[in-house]
Structure 1
Amino acid sequence: MTAYQPITAHASGHRFDGERRWAAAIDLGFEARNEGDPVPVTRLVRRRHIGPLRVQRPFYPEGKTGCCHVYLLHPPGGLVSGDELRIEASVAEGGHALLTTPAAAKLYKADGHGVAWGQHTRLQVAKDAILEYLPQETIAFDGSRGEQTTTIELASGARTLGWEVLALGRPASNLPFATGALEQRFHLSLDGKPLWLERQLLDPKHRRFTGHWGQGGATVQATLWAVGLDDEVAAIELLREQLPDNNRWAVTRRRGVLLFRYLGSERNEAWALCEKAWHLLRPTLANVPAHTPRIWLT
């Protein structure tokens, strides 16, 4: 795994052009420690932050030697022009951590200068470690402009499961995503070799956005990934047997990466499908049943 690089802040928050940045960053490190129990305990051993990004104390709802649950907190609750969030987390050998958020994230309309926001997540997982990255959904308001990147760096024997649920506009309020532009990038690698690279542009003015060969006018999309399943074919069959049979989701695998996709118009449906898929996959990925984070129920 790449050595830790200190997080730094931009000093350009008071500019009014494309170089304006309001930065917030957090770096978390987890280690499995032998504290006298037969099974090591995963502890949060590194917690560095800049700006309004924090974590609550770790929780152990699955027992002292179970998965370490951590909630990522961003008090502003959303991103505006010039905001830049950087989230980094690493799990050392033998550790097991779950990261989630207390509420949906919001991507607000760009300012009059069209300055973009940015959110960049980097996850590193060592040999025989597990990291689950399960943030609550993201809602992009009309006129939002920004870039969202997710980089996952795995060592041999590492396991991970995560998702990204994105809702475009607020159709219930008759406020569709009619202007703006978002870019999503995913980069997942194993021992430095890329397994899954993806770049997606979401521009409502582009014909791909409404074309049946592209977005097809869908306002909600989700991607769930899983690496480290003992039997990917059996896992896919399990999802196909247990999830509702409709044409809004699909599942496949490629080079050791299971990918579950949703494309539709119901944010609650997308979330429910991802959560159900997690409940089905976690026992084979982590050898323990899914344990719903308490924050999802509040």
Structure 2
Amino acid sequence: MTAYEPIPNAGSGHRFDTERRWAAAIALGFEARDEGGAAPITRLVRRRHVGPLRVQRPFYPEGKTGCCHVYLLHPPGGLVSGDELRIEAEVGEGGHALLTTPAAAKLYKADSHGVAWGQHTRLQVAQDATLEYLPQETIAFDGSRGEQTTTVELATGAKTLGWEVLALGRPASDLPFATGALEQRFHLSLDGKPLWIERQLLAPKHPRFTGAWGQGGATVQATLWAVGLDDEAAAIEALREELPDHNRWAVTRRQGVLLLRYLGADRNEAWALCEQAWHLLRPRLIGLPAHTPRIWLT
């Protein structure tokens, strides 16, 4: 793993002009180790953090299957203008890690200068390793401005399943996402070859936001991806048969990447859909049933 280099001006969070920046970062490394059991067990062997982004300890709720559960903790609970979060995780050959978060993340309204925030996630999965990236949902407040990037780098034989659930505005409080701009970027590659590259801009003032050919006025969206399935067609058929039958989601595959999309108005529905899809896909991906992280139940 490449050591994390602190972001320049990491200590400038107390400024109140356009140069405001408060950086936080974490770099995690997992390795599969033979400890005399029936199979190797994955250990968190490297962790380095800068600022308020860290993990407390790994968990093994699945016993000696080798899967290491880790909760990514960001005590502030949300991003404000100038925040810059960087998350890096690398799973070594034969390892198996599951990353999640303890609660929904919040993207707050930009300050009077309109300074943006940034969140950048880089996930590396070695040969015959598995990484599940299952963060809880993200809620974007009206006026939020920022960029999210997710980069997944796979080696031959690597497997991964992950999702991103995004809710725009707070309709229950009659506070829609009426201003601001979010940019999301996804980049997934296998041995350096791009398999899935995507960029989307979520700006309420753009015609795409309300147009039927784009966002269509939807306030909640979700994307789930899976790579490494032995039979993608059968997995898609199982999803179509078992998931709730409505017109707010669709599933497809392209260049070895299974993609499930949700577009609607209910973040609980989007989350439930992704979780149910995970329960259906995990046994097909790694031969193990889904094991709900305890943190989701608190």
Shorter-chain TM-score category? over 0.9
Is the 1:43–1:68 Cα contact (8 Å) retained in structure 2? yes
Structure 2: which amino acid aligns with 1:175? L
Deviation, structure 1 residue 63: 0.3
Q: TM-score, normalised by structure 1?
A: 0.98
Q: Give a deviation string over 1:88-113, Cα, whole Å, max 9, x none.
A: 00000000000000000000000000
Asked if the contact 1:10/1:21 (under 8 Å) is kept, the reply is no
User: 2: distance between equivalents of 1:45 and 1:227?
Assistant: 25
Aligned letter for 1:147?
E
Q: Which amino acid letter does the alignment assign opposite residue 19 of structure 2?
A: E
8 Å CA contact 1:208–1:214 kept in 2: the answer is yes
Matched residue type, 1:105: A
Matched residues, number: 296
Whether the 8 Å CA contact 2:252–2:260 is kept in 1: the answer is yes
Gaps of 5+ in 2: none
CA–CA distance in 2 between the matches of 1:7 and 1:160? 26
* 13-22 or 66-75, larger mean C-alpha shift: 13-22
Which runs of 5 or more residues in structure 1 are unaligned?
A: none
Instruction: Using the TM superposition, give the Cα deviation of residue 5 of structure 1 relative to its aligned residue in structure 2, in angstroms.
Output: 3.3
**Cα pair 2:248 2:262 within 8 Å, conserved:** yes
| TM-score, normalisation: structure 2 | 0.98
Deviates more, 1:281-290 or 1:58-67: 58-67
Contact 1:154 1:190 (8 Å CA) reproduced: yes
Which amino acid in structure 1 is aligned with residue 291 of structure 2? H
Q: Which moved more, 1:184-193 or 1:14-23?
A: 14-23
Whether 2:127 is the aligned partner of 1:127: answer yes
Aligned to 1:149: 149
Distance 1:246 1:14 in 2: 48
Q: How does 1:109-120 map to 2 (within 5 A)?
A: 109-120=109-120
| Cα separation, 1, equivalents of 2:17 and 2:171 | 31
Residues 1:161 and 2:161 are matched in the alignment: yes
Where does residue 62 of structure 1 map in the other structure?
A: 62
Which letter maps to 1:289?
P
- 1:286 Cα offset (Å): 1.1
CA distance in 2: counterparts of 1:207 and 1:38, whole angstroms = 57
Find the counterpart in structure 1 of residue 207 from structure 2: 207
Offset of 1:56 from its aligned partner? 2.0
**What root-mean-square deviation, in Å, do the aligned CA atoms of Structure 1 and Structure 2 show?**
0.9
Letter in 2 for 1:86: R
For the residue of structure 2 that corresponds to 1:55, the secondary structure is coil
Name the SS for the 2:47 alignment partner: strand
Is the Cα contact below 8 Å between 2:37 and 2:64 reproduced in 1? no
Shift of residue 262, structure 1, vs aligned partner: 0.1
CA distance in 2, matches of 1:245, 1:10: 49
Which of residues 3, 6, 17 is equivalent to 1:5? 3
How far apart in 1 are the matches of 2:139 and 2:160?
24
Structure 2 Cα separation of the partners of residues 76 and 151 of structure 1: 24
Deviation (angstroms), 1:277: 0.1
SS at match of 2:235: helix
| Greater Cα shift, 45-54 or 32-41 | 32-41
- Paired AA for residue 217 in structure 1: G
Task: Indicate yes or no: 2:271 matched with 1:264.
Answer: no
State the identity %: 85
Tell me which residue corresponds to 1:16. Answer: 16
Name the CA distance, whole Å, in 2 between partners of 1:18 and 1:159.
41
CA contact (8 A) 1:7 1:25 kept: no
Moved over 2 A (4+): 12-20
1:21–1:83 contact (8 Å) kept in structure 2:
yes
Matched residue SS, 2:270: helix
Report SS of the residue matched to 1:240. Answer: helix
* Aligned equivalents of 1:177, 1:147: Cα separation in 2: 16
Q: Which moved more, 1:60-69 or 1:101-110?
A: 60-69
Task: Write the distance in 1 (CA, Å) between the matches of 2:17 and 2:257.
Answer: 40
